[in-house]
Structure 1
Amino acid sequence: MNQLERHADPRAVMRAVIENARSRTWTALPGIIESFDASAMTCVVQPAIQGQVRDKAGSLSSVNLPLLLDCPVQFTAGGGCTLTFPVKAGDECLVVFASRCIDSWWQSGGIQPQAELRMHDRSDGFALLGFRSQPRVIGAVSTSAVQIRSDDGQAYIEINPQSHAIGASTPGPITLTAPTVTINGDVTVNGKVTTTGDVKAGAISLQTHKHTGVTTGSGTSGGPTP
């Protein structure tokens, strides 16, 4: 006989009903990326918290929850700009479950009716990147500047909000692709400069300028002319 039936405790029955409803309400779970679809901006996620099942003998055992499919991936974005990341299998995330069905919105955007009347369901998860378990923390997080960095910290771009200094460091090459790069300020280069084009100081070209007043022997030439 069920213990609740034996005691006939209405408060215990109500608590059981509430706990049962809560167990079916999904809010958020940490997860591990199984695969990422860059074209659709969705991912498949393995929940990182196991569920429990009870066998016929009443014993509980832990099992992996089913994979979460087609979770929209959140990238920081706004105003026509987006900060993207090369999401890889094994990355950790937090999956947040919408309180209502997101199928119609996800497919068509805008304001849509509910395709189904499900609530807090595992089918309606959004993957938020960047949450980490302790074994995967990156360490050496700057406490003085905002950074875009590699996890190993060897490459980064940073802005210091106090000094307003902008810094960058990398063991690899830096490539700029633009029709024009403008720098308003002095430039110091600790190393060689190699260019396939011309270099000008004012109107004087490094490739085509000529010197005036040239003398032979131990004399010196005059200044360059355009």
Structure 2
Amino acid sequence: MPTTATPYLLRSNTGKNSLKGALDSLIASHINQLGPSMLVQVEAVTASAASLTGKVTVRPMVQQQDALSRPLPHDIIHNVPYLRIQGGSSALIIDPKPGDIGFIIISGRDHTHAVTTRKPAPPASFRQFSMQDCVYVGGFLNNGPDQFIQATDHGWRIVTPGSVTIEASHIEANCDITTSGDVRAGGISLKQHVHGGVQTGAGASAPPQ
């Protein structure tokens, strides 16, 4: 039986002048042009309290290197849409802040038209896998927060150094409510209110004031 020859591209000859070496170099060159996801740090944020999701300016944190291993910083990337947890008209709004660390996810094609119109659109150019066409997802490696909502084994914990404001047409709580502070309803304090028309006997007092 004739001996089966090793396919040419699998032969051990991988010198600079071999076909396999040339193909490996070409493939590696193309792979290096693909825009990978990468760590970035937020430089600036453009957003308002509850309007359309804003954008960030970010700086890639992992630098490039030249042939002598000298670091070369990436350019800053502007107008990057960021992630907001949202479904329909309901959202959890926690906008990024300068100094936050997160990831950018890079699109395969120029998504400028789709970002601008927020509708399906053709690519704005023949650009591919460019860091200009990315979105920001955060945050990673950030410091501990001063205010947060935390799920524990005993329930939910809400911590804030400020105040909690609830704007709703109606609130219903099917539980006991305990507070170390005061409670006010209609401007009347639960701890400090007084009653008029009080006299000895079985009569009821007037409403609290």
CA distance in 1: counterparts of 2:44 and 2:137, whole angstroms: 14
Establish whether residue 183 from structure 1 lines up as the match of residue 173 from structure 2: yes
Paired residue type of 1:36: V
Establish whether residue 65 from structure 1 lines up as the match of residue 74 from structure 2: yes
- Residues 1-226 of structure 1 correspond to what in structure 2 (within 5 A)? 7-39=16-48, 41-54=54-67, 59-132=68-141, 136=142, 138=144, 151-152=145-146, 155-160=147-152, 165-178=155-168, 180-193=170-183, 197-198=187-188, 210-211=197-198, 214-215=199-200, 222-224=203-205
Paired residue type of 1:104: H
1:145 matched residue in structure 2: none
Indicate how the Cα distance of structure 1 residues 167 and 65 shifts in structure 2: closer, same or farther if over 3 A, else same: closer
CA distance in 1: counterparts of 2:183 and 2:202, whole angstroms: 25
Gaps of 5+ in 2: 1-14
Task: Give the number of equivalent residue pairs.
Answer: 187
Q: CA deviation at 1:193?
A: 3.6
Structure 1 residues 29-55: Cα deviation after superposition (integer angstroms, max 9, x where no partner): 11011111115611111111111234x
Paired residue type of 1:125: C
Indicate how the Cα distance of structure 1 residues 109 and 7 shifts in structure 2: closer, same or farther if over 3 A, else same: closer
CA distance in 2: counterparts of 1:221 and 1:199, whole angstroms: 25
CA distance in 1: counterparts of 2:160 and 2:131, whole angstroms: 41
CA distance in 1: counterparts of 2:69 and 2:188, whole angstroms: 75
Secondary structure of the structure 2 residue equivalent to 1:224: coil
Secondary structure of the structure 2 residue equivalent to 1:22: helix
Ranked by relative contact order (alpha carbons within 8 Å, sequence separation 6 or more), the top structure is 2
Paired residue type of 2:60: P
CA distance in 2: counterparts of 1:187 and 1:7, whole angstroms: 77
Deviates further, 15-24 or 111-120: 111-120
Indicate how the Cα distance of structure 1 residues 76 and 63 shifts in structure 2: closer, same or farther if over 3 A, else same: same
CA distance in 2: counterparts of 1:185 and 1:199, whole angstroms: 21
Structure 1 residues 93-148: Cα deviation after superposition (integer angstroms, max 9, x where no partner): 1011001110110111111111112221111011111122xxx453xxxxxxxxxx
Indicate how the Cα distance of structure 1 residues 189 and 7 shifts in structure 2: closer, same or farther if over 3 A, else same: closer
Deviates further, 187-196 or 36-45: 187-196
Q: TM-score, normalised by structure 2?
A: 0.75
8 Å contact 1:27–1:98 — kept in the other structure?
no
CA distance in 1: counterparts of 2:168 and 2:194, whole angstroms: 22
CA root-mean-square deviation: 2.9
- Which runs of at least 4 in structure 1 moved beyond 4 Å after TM superposition? 177-180, 206-209
Q: TM-score, normalised by structure 1?
A: 0.70
8 Å contact 2:183–2:189 — kept in the other structure?
no
